[in-house]
Amino acid sequence: MQHEPVCGNSAEPARLANAPRCQARTKRGASCRSKAVRGKRVCRMHGGTNKGAPRGECNGAYRHGGETKEAVALRAAARRLLRALADEATA
């Protein structure tokens, strides 16, 4: 294993010291300042490694599926189509 140079007074290698910081707030209201999980905006303690609630029918709050990403996207596509048709009819 290769050792990275430690700069300044910090005991952290520069690669870790320059890593993006957690955006979460602590219970006291201060910034967390831990290293964020790669690709996420929060650290492992603030849910950076948590995938979140299950999607679709696996979620206990699921009722009818009318607000799933797919259903919302379908309605948006239908609206775009209708608007395009209406614009064509008036033009």
Say how many CA atoms lie within 13 Å of 36 toward its Cβ. Answer: 14
Contact residues: Zn ion, CB under 5 A: 22, 24, 32, 34, 43, 46
Residues 73 and 88: their CA atoms lie apart, in Å, by 23
Q: At closest approach, how far in Å is the CB of 38 from Zn ion?
A: 14
Q: Which string of DSSP letters, residue by residue, matches 6-22?
A: P-TT-SS-HHHHTSPBP
Given the complex with Zn ion, which of 44 and 68 has the nearer CB atom? 44
Q: Which is nearer to Zn ion, 19 or 24 (CB)?
A: 24
Shortest distance in whole angstroms from residue 15 CB to Zn ion: 19
Query: For residues 21 and 68, which CB has a smaller minimum distance to Zn ion in the complex?
Result: 21
Query: CB of residue 51 vs Zn ion: minimum separation in angstroms?
Result: 17
DSSP, res 45: G
- C-beta of residue 37 within 8 angstroms of C-beta of residue 43: yes
